[in-house]
Structure 1
Amino acid sequence: MQVRLPRRPDRDAVLIAATGLLGGLLLWFLGLRNNPPLIGVPKWLTLVALAVMCGAELLRRNAPLTALAIGTVTIAADVCAGSLIATIAMYTDLLYAAVLYGRASVAWRLPRICEVLSVLVTLLAVALIREPEALLLGFGVAALIITPTWTGLGIRRHRDAARAARLEAERTALLAELDRRQAVGAERARMARELHDMVANNLSAIAIHSTAALSIDEPKASTQALTVIRENSVQGLAEMRRLIGLLRQAGGDEEPAATPRLDGVDALLDRARTAVSDDRFTFVLCDERGPEPLPAPVELAAYRIVQESLTNAVKHAAPGEVAVRLDFRAGRPLVVEVTSAVGAGPVPRAPGSGAGLVGMGERVALLDGEWEAGPVDGPDGKRWRVRAVLPVPEEGRGKP
């Protein structure tokens, strides 16, 4: 069984106890006692009360209620023995410490208890003495026990208020740091999506045609593959430069004016046709959008979804039709759907990281839309479908 040893008294307690002891001894030797001993109590008992009160002072911070209980018994004995002002002064400090360092329930009740005791002492003095001096005695007792308790209560209130303000400031700083980290994480995720969507298509085409150039020993085919590789390299470099320019802009939270738009989906289809050398692939676009323009965030998300879906089709789809459908009418959300034949080969034509589907899901989630990707039954067999439903807010319509 582990026994907890009491903590050492703090420096203030030792200083108060030492000062009270020296002052009390000086008053004793000078014969400056407050009143004569009552009912034959020996005078030397004041010295015992002085020493006990000094010991109680050492507990004022670590055990304030215990110190007050000891001090209350001691002050009664001191008054009966003649009373020293030093002992009384230390008792008022114990009252102050009990309110300041004691339990909250005691801190709130002790001043009221002292008020009641002051009234009772005053009434008792008036009943026994029946002189005007009895009122002065009651007022003196009230000043000695009420003043320190209310002083300690006021300081405790200010201390608790300062502690609460400090905790609130720390909480605010913590929330601000969490918000900053969340903002940094969101910006990094946005940069990762932009980087993946802009570069993945070009790199996929480069990987496919470089593989073809290495595996087919025909000068004409190699020349065509190298031409496609060069075009996609230049396009990828331009996209990288655009991303770097976007990152260097002062207003990082706003979409740049030169963001890709759905009017450029035809160019995406042309690049996808160029990326695959198999004539069995066909790329078609069904644009059912109305004349009303879309908000830039919605249009950018739709463009990136089409771009990533075409990139995945170039990598994984079986030969056949790759269809892109865009549907938007006023008062309805924008629907983006890309379907392709499910690939039968075990190895994709270009390696993938799996981040494309994650990025599409994140883009749709940021707009509170719906998104699904997976195989579905089609008229000509299994097809892979990517479908996104992007809400168009009323206040954002008509703002390109």
Structure 2
Amino acid sequence: MKGRTVDLVLAGSGLAAGALMYVTGQYQARVDARWLFVPLAVCCSALLLRRSAPVTSVLVGTAAVAGDVVIGPSLATPLVYTQVLYDACLHGSARLARTLLATSVVGSVVTAIVCLVVIRDVRAIGLGVLLALVTIVPVLTGTHVRHHRDQAETARRSAQQVARLAAADRANAVAAERAGMARELHDVIANHLSAVAIHATAALSTDLGADGTRQALGVIRENSVQGLAEMRRMVGFLRDPAALPDNAPGGLRALDDLVARAGLPVRLDVRHGAGDVPVSVDLAAYRIIQESLTNALKHGDGGPVTVEVDCGPAAVTMRVTSGLPRERVIGEGAGLIGMHERAALLGGELTAGERAGQWVVEARLPCG
């Protein structure tokens, strides 16, 4: 609606300028000067088509200028025609702009040559120059403005694309952080709380005697203290990642303590090869074994568990073998998902399932 209003204003302004020139006696027509309003009105009507039909607008404007030359010529119609050419280059296709430029240049040159040959006066070249001013200048101006407008639109779209990519990166980063926090909370806090709950249930439901009760309370206290310490470490890390202590709990060197707190008979076999294990691999291996022991305690048959770890120069491989899980419980599966995620983040592999009547978790974490 706004564009249509602008078109009407331009057309009306052209007619008003022609009327003003007529009133002030600027027209010197070969016939009645009032007839010059006909090509002027036709050329002004071409402005109403400048957005929707640029080619038609140029054709109508050109016919109006030709009629104006035959009758007059006048000044108002060519001036309106310059606006028609400018708008055609601005709103039309690039092919139309190239065609108008080529036609304007050829027309101006041919007009100058013909006038020079026919009139045989150098001043006749002025007609070609005048035609160039009426045609070439608005065409070049419209093409230049369109070029800058297209560049601005391209830059705007590029900025929007960059903004969308930045928003997607932020969303992915937040999702990765949330997944990492969920993984740590499950593997660290949930494991300790599971051990506390299992031993507390055993102490309440069975008469363990003084020694058994003391042992259960000792396991509960140890897991509570350990869980609290790791929770404090996680909270401190979330507040300031640089504040993570070098002696943070966890890692393959802490497997003996982990096995001692497992609450199950565990046979541990660790083989160290040449070279140091990267910190990320060290912690991931520890968490995978920790989650495997917790699952064996929560869902296994209470039988012995075997933990085998081979720290090679290229990768750390591990195998945790336990009894088959009892009936599936609500909420089961988050631990396995977390183990798969830890292995995948390091480019490793992890499998878990029944094998030869036992539950086997195997993982390979590359060190490079």
TM-score, length basis structure 2: 0.92
| 1:81 and 2:71 are equivalent in the alignment | yes
* Greater CA drift, 296-305 or 41-50: 41-50
Q: Give the whole-Å Cα distance in 1 for the aligned partners of 2:331 and 2:217.
A: 21
The 1:235–1:48 alpha-carbon spacing in structure 2 relative to 1, beyond 3 Å, is same
Task: Give the aligned partner of residue 391 of structure 1.
Answer: 366
Give, in angstroms, the shift of residue 376 of structure 1: 1.4
The 1:63–1:178 alpha-carbon spacing in structure 2 relative to 1, beyond 3 Å, is same
Q: Deviations over 1:294-347 (max 9, x none)?
A: 1111111111111111111111222332111111222x211121111213x436
Count residues in correspondence: 366
Pairing of 1:285-304 with structure 2 (within 5 A): 285-304=268-287
Give, in angstroms, the shift of residue 291 of structure 1: 4.8
Task: Give the aligned partner of residue 234 of structure 1.
Answer: 225
**Runs (4+) off by over 6 Å:** none
The 1:333–1:111 alpha-carbon spacing in structure 2 relative to 1, beyond 3 Å, is same
Task: Give the aligned partner of residue 312 of structure 1.
Answer: 295
Give, in angstroms, the shift of residue 246 of structure 1: 1.0
State which of 253, 260, 272 in structure 1 corresponds to 2:262: 272
| 1:328 and 2:311 are equivalent in the alignment | yes
Which letter does structure 2 place at the counterpart of 1:135?
I
Q: Deviations over 1:81-116 (max 9, x none)?
A: 102211111100100000011123212332122112
Is the CA contact (8 Å cut-off) linking 1:9 and 1:59 kept in structure 2? no
The 1:138–1:360 alpha-carbon spacing in structure 2 relative to 1, beyond 3 Å, is same
Q: Secondary structure at the match of 2:261?
A: helix
| 1:248 and 2:228 are equivalent in the alignment | no
Q: Secondary structure at the match of 2:350?
A: strand
Which letter does structure 2 place at the counterpart of 1:76?
A
Q: Secondary structure at the match of 2:358?
A: strand
Q: Give the whole-Å Cα distance in 1 for the aligned partners of 2:80 and 2:333.
A: 76
Give, in angstroms, the shift of residue 385 of structure 1: 1.1
Task: Give the aligned partner of residue 179 of structure 1.
Answer: 169
Give, in angstroms, the shift of residue 161 of structure 1: 0.6
Is the CA contact (8 Å cut-off) linking 1:309 and 1:338 kept in structure 2? yes
Task: Give the aligned partner of residue 246 of structure 2.
Answer: 257
Give, in angstroms, the shift of residue 9 of structure 1: 4.6
The 1:327–1:29 alpha-carbon spacing in structure 2 relative to 1, beyond 3 Å, is same
Coordinate RMSD, CA, aligned: 2.1
Is the CA contact (8 Å cut-off) linking 1:203 and 1:232 kept in structure 2? yes
Give, in angstroms, the shift of residue 217 of structure 1: 4.5
Which letter does structure 2 place at the counterpart of 1:49?
P
State which of 213, 216, 241 in structure 1 corresponds to 2:206: 216
Q: Deviations over 1:158-197 (max 9, x none)?
A: 1111111111111111111111111111111111111111
Is the CA contact (8 Å cut-off) linking 2:296 and 2:302 kept in structure 1? no
Give, in angstroms, the shift of residue 51 of structure 1: 1.6
Task: Give the aligned partner of residue 335 of structure 2.
Answer: 356
Task: Give the aligned partner of residue 127 of structure 1.
Answer: 117
Task: Give the aligned partner of residue 398 of structure 1.
Answer: none
Structure 2 unmatched ranges of 5 or more:
none
| 1:367 and 2:352 are equivalent in the alignment | no
| 1:111 and 2:90 are equivalent in the alignment | no
Which letter does structure 2 place at the counterpart of 1:28?
Y
Q: Secondary structure at the match of 1:286?
A: strand
Q: Secondary structure at the match of 1:272?
A: coil
Is the CA contact (8 Å cut-off) linking 2:219 and 2:261 kept in structure 1? no
Q: Secondary structure at the match of 2:111?
A: helix
* Greater CA drift, 354-363 or 42-51: 42-51
Q: Secondary structure at the match of 1:44?
A: helix
Q: Give the whole-Å Cα distance in 2 for the aligned partners of 1:130 and 1:29.
A: 36
Q: Secondary structure at the match of 1:285?
A: strand
| 1:44 and 2:34 are equivalent in the alignment | yes
Which letter does structure 1 place at the counterpart of 2:24?
L
Q: Secondary structure at the match of 1:229?
A: helix
Task: Give the aligned partner of residue 143 of structure 2.
Answer: 153
Q: Give the whole-Å Cα distance in 2 for the aligned partners of 1:373 and 1:129.
A: 100
Is the CA contact (8 Å cut-off) linking 1:114 and 1:145 kept in structure 2? yes
Q: Give the whole-Å Cα distance in 2 for the aligned partners of 1:218 and 1:320.
A: 19
Which letter does structure 2 place at the counterpart of 1:315?
K
TM-score, length basis structure 1: 0.85
Q: Give the whole-Å Cα distance in 2 for the aligned partners of 1:15 and 1:305.
A: 76
Is the CA contact (8 Å cut-off) linking 1:200 and 1:311 kept in structure 2? no
| 1:140 and 2:126 are equivalent in the alignment | no
Task: Give the aligned partner of residue 376 of structure 1.
Answer: 355
State which of 17, 21, 29 in structure 1 corresponds to 2:15: 21
Which letter does structure 2 place at the counterpart of 1:338?
V
Q: Give the whole-Å Cα distance in 2 for the aligned partners of 1:333 and 1:231.
A: 32
Q: Deviations over 1:328-371 (max 9, x none)?
A: 222x211121111213x4366xx644111111111111111111
Is the CA contact (8 Å cut-off) linking 1:45 and 1:77 kept in structure 2? no
Task: Give the aligned partner of residue 93 of structure 1.
Answer: 83
